[in-house]
Each structure stands twice: as C-alpha cells, then as structure tokens.
C-alpha cells in the first residue's frame, strides 16, 4: 500500500498587498473569497506552486521551466517533455526535471484539417476529414490548496501618489491585509518518477519566501510559523484548513482536535514543528505520541527521515 504525505502550513503574521498586480480603477486589489460567511483574502495554489518551482531553481535543482528575471519570462529546457511523451524515441535516456515530475504538465494541440479547401472536397452532407488533436499531459503528484487568511478582510487601503511627466501626479491605492495564511498539500511519493524528490518538496514547503505578486512584488514570508506533517496509509488528509486564531497565536480547530482524539487521525503519524509546540495542544499531542519540535526545520528533517 502506498504511503501519503499530507501537510498543513500556517504562516507568520505579515502584511499582504498587491497579490495579483490586478486593479479595479486605480485600486490594486487582493484576491478575496467568502469564507465562513465573511470576506477573507486568498493566494492561489498556482502562485504557491510557482514559488516552489522558483525555490528549486534558486537552490540548484534542475527545472524544465526556468524563470529568467531579466527577460521576465520562462525559458524551456525541453518544451516537448520528451522523456515522458516519447520515452522510446527522442526522449530515450534524457533526464527528467523535478518540476515536471512533481507538478505535472499539459500540452494540448488542436486538430488540423487535411489539405485545404481546394483539395478533396467532402461529399454532400459530410464533414471535411480532420486529424485529431493531441494532448500530452502528466498529472502532478503534488496537490496544493488555495491559501486563505486566518482573519477576515476589513477593507484596509493605503493611498499613494506618483509624479509623472509634465508635473502630472498619479493617485492610486493598494489593498492591504495584516494577517496569517493557511494552506495544505498532499503528495504520494510512489507517483513520482524519482521518489527522492519528495524530500525536495518538504524543503520547498519549509523554506518558502515570498509568494505571488506581479509587477511589484510584496515581501510576505510564506515559510511556516507552524507546520503539521502526516505520513500515513490513509487516503484522506482530514486536517486541511485546520488552524484558527487564538489571541495572537494559532491553535488546531475543534473539529481537527476531535478527529485526533477519536482516532481518525493517529497522533503517532503526526510530525509538528513551530509555535504550536509551545501551546497546551502541543504538550498534549506530545503525550499522545506525536513528534513535536520547536523548530520547523527539525520537523522537516524528521518527516524526511520517516519517508526514507
């Protein structure tokens, strides 16, 4: 039976702004969703996955989709994914890249008409023959949820002014949210071509810096304030979005706590690192058999040891 790695991350408290670089009028907006009846800000799973890829690139892992900061665009090492799509031909013996293996890919091409309108006209009532379209794809082994703020958005906006040509002044505003974000992820290492890359996923999760932003990125630390790993035979994570605010800190929600005590989540499967370790919940989890450490990096090393 395959083992599964599930994770739950909550970030430190910080100030989020200019999430997408999009705007409404002269206001740069944050993405928002209605969450438990209130408006919360959110960061897309695509932005988090992008940040993982960029982390691997910056730390020397070979990625297929290389981001060029000067050109502000991607450069492909293998735009056809040949080791995956043509393993017995041009792709034989070629290396696979971590981002293709972990995050997956898709290349869809439309069908093409045979010849042109002047050639081989179809009989009356028949369609002109077409060559079927193709789709080369690999489902990503890593699944990531959308990050959601732990506190509702109250509508904070900062107003700014920028001087332009001919003494013109541009007025613009930026939505700002001082909050924490939480998100979850799931990974089945057996789905990877190279299962050792599961450790690279853990490294990316625990060492992530800024996420999202566009023409002027904001610096918001997306490394975990607290991280909960679960290494299990269970197919379901059972604790996604499992944190809530408690004063200035965070605790596990009552429904997650109930699942742990009921045995739906075996505490011995949990590896926890960060500020939760200093809470009464952290102390009780330790007595229940969970591996609880003060450091996020120490928790990462323990979960990598278990996976190995």
β-pairing, 73-76 with 27-28?
unpaired
Nearest Cα to 18, choosing from 188, 157, 116?
A: 157
CA dihedral sign, ordered 255, 257, 262, 268: positive
Asked whether 5 and 229 are in contact (CB, 8 A), the reply is: yes
Query: Whole-angstrom Cα distance, residue 78 to residue 89?
Result: 14
Supply the pLDDT for residue 19: 47
Residue 84 included in any domain: yes
**Whole-number percent of the chain with pLDDT over 70:** 84
Domain assignment of residue 197, given as a range: 4-109+138-163+175-231
Task: Give me the mean pLDDT over the 282-286 stretch.
Answer: 98
List phi, psi (to 5°) of 201. Answer: -65, -45
Residue 250 included in any domain: no
Residue 281 included in any domain: no
Confidence of residue 17 (pLDDT cuts 50, 70, 90): confident
Q: How many CA atoms does the CB half-sphere of 70 hold within 13 Å?
A: 1
Query: Whole-angstrom Cα distance, residue 20 to residue 146?
Result: 14
Confidence of residue 273 (pLDDT cuts 50, 70, 90): very high
Q: How far is CA 96 from CA 99, 118, 302, in A?
A: 9, 44, 27
Residue 154 included in any domain: yes
How many domains are there within the chain? 1
Residue 283 included in any domain: no
Residue 297 included in any domain: no
Asked whether 204 and 144 are in contact (CB, 8 A), the reply is: no
Residue 204 included in any domain: yes
Confidence of residue 265 (pLDDT cuts 50, 70, 90): very high
Residue 69 included in any domain: yes
Asked whether 256 and 270 are in contact (CB, 8 A), the reply is: no
């Amino acid at each position: 039976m395959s083992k599964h790695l599930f994770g739950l991350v909550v970030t430190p408290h910080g100030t989020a702004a200019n999430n997408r670089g999009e705007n409404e009028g002269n206001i740069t907006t944050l993405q928002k969703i209605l969450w438990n009846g209130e408006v919360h800000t959110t960061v897309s799973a695509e932005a988090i996955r992008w940040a993982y890829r960029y982390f691997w690139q910056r730390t020397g892992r070979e990625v297929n989709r290389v981001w060029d900061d000067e050109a502000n665009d991607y450069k492909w090492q293998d735009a056809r994914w040949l080791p995956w799509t043509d393993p017995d031909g041009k792709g034989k013996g070629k290396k696979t890249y971590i981002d293709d293996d972990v995050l997956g890919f898709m290349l869809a091409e439309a069908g093409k008409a045979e010849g042109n309108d002047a050639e081989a006209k179809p009989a009356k009532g028949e369609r002109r023959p077409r060559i079927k379209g193709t789709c080369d794809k690999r489902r990503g082994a890593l699944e990531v949820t959308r990050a959601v703020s732990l506190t509702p958005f109250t509508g904070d906006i900062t107003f700014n002014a920028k001087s332009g040509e001919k003494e013109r002044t541009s007025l613009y505003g930026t939505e700002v949210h001082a909050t924490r974000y939480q998100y979850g992820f799931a990974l089945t290492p057996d789905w990877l071509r190279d299962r050792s890359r599961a450790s690279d996923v853990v490294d990316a999760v625990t060492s992530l810096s800024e996420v999202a932003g566009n023409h002027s990125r904001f610096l918001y630390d997306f490394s975990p304030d607290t991280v909960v790993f679960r290494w299990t035979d269970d197919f379901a994570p059972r604790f996604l979005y499992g944190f809530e605010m408690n004063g200035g800190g965070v605790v596990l929600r009552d429904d997650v706590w109930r699942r742990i005590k009921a045995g739906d989540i075996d505490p011995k499967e949990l590896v926890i690192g960060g500020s939760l370790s200093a809470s009464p919940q952290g102390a009780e989890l330790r007595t229940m058999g969970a591996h609880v450490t003060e450091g996020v990096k120490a928790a990462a090393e323990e979960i990598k040891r278990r996976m190995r």
